[in-house]
Amino acid sequence: MEENAELVISDPQALENAKKDLRDIEGEIAYIEDPYEAASQCHAIAILTEWDLYRNIDYEKIFRKMKKPAFVFDGRNILNHKKLFDMGFNVYSVGRPALTHFRVD
């Protein structure tokens, strides 16, 4: 929020709780139940829960709807990082090396 990011929260089990928890945060925050709609035109998604929904979602469909470069931050290490990288995502996770398409000279 300090960098004026637009935050979209998508969690079908906890949207109301998120609204309460973030009510005092200043900035642009949207609450969208559908994860495909929530990811549309985003640069990054962060997985912060272990719901099966996020393990089994169609990430190719999500990637097509996102702005590029597209990033996935897997805070639970529940995703197939190699598969996401092969789709085109830049993948960051807890305790594992990042998989990025950026070249470092």
Q: Does residue 72 lie within any of the structural domains?
A: yes
Look at residue 4 in the predicted model and tell me its pLDDT. Answer: 84
Largest Cα separation within the chain, whole Å, is 46
The 10s digit of each residue's pLDDT in 15-74 is 999 999 999 998 999 999 999 999 999 999 999 998 899 999 999 999 999 999 999 999
pLDDT for 40 equals 96
Residue 76: give the domain boundaries: 7-99
104: in domain: no
DSSP 3-state of 39: helix
Mark out the alpha helices in 1-105 (DSSP H runs): 15-21, 35-39, 52-56, 59-65, 81-87
Look at the pTM and tell me if it is higher than 0.85: yes
Instruction: Count up the domains in the chain and report the number.
Output: 1
Domain of 54, CATH number, reads 3.40.50.720
2 in a domain, yes or no?
no
Instruction: Flag whether 105 is in a domain.
Output: no
